[in-house]
Amino acid sequence: MEIITVHNENEVTFVECKPPEKLISSEQDAVDLIGLCGYHQTNNLLMYTNNVDKSFFDLKSTLAGAVLQKYMNYYMRVALVLPSNIEHNKRFSEMALETNKGNHFRLFKTREEAVEWLTHG
């Protein structure tokens, strides 16, 4: 079964992770996704909340920090679709506000918003 789909919109290629697949539960998983993006000659990645382990949303676990640092080191642009009905703690919300100011990792409520940023951002 395919775990990703490769899209090309507005002459921008991005890799989209399939929503039901849990792909990131460790720092190495992030590195593997970076390699997969490289194979498809893109640095743009679209993910969904169920692609990442629940510990990603708990900053005490350090998973989010390690993963985001990898994405920054490899100049990735990662959009994570995080619907407003998904609960996460206050510290994660604060981190999200900060990361949304940058150009490497952003959170979006819908797939459409995420694709817009990846392809026009």
Question: Where along the chain do its domains lie?
Answer: 4-120
Which of 23-27, 47-51, 100-104 shows the lowest mean pLDDT across its residues? Answer: 100-104
| Long-range contacts of the stretch 62-66 (C-beta < 8 A, 24+) | 63/24, 63/25, 63/26, 63/27, 64/92, 64/95, 66/27, 66/30
The pTM of the whole model exceeds 0.85: yes
CATH number of 4-120: 3.90.190
Q: What distance in Å separates the CA atoms of residue 109 and residue 63, rounded to the nearest whole number?
A: 21
Model confidence pLDDT, tens digit, residues 9-47: 999 999 999 988 899 999 999 999 999 999 999 999 999
Amino acid at 21: E
The residue to which tokens 């692609």 are assigned: 51
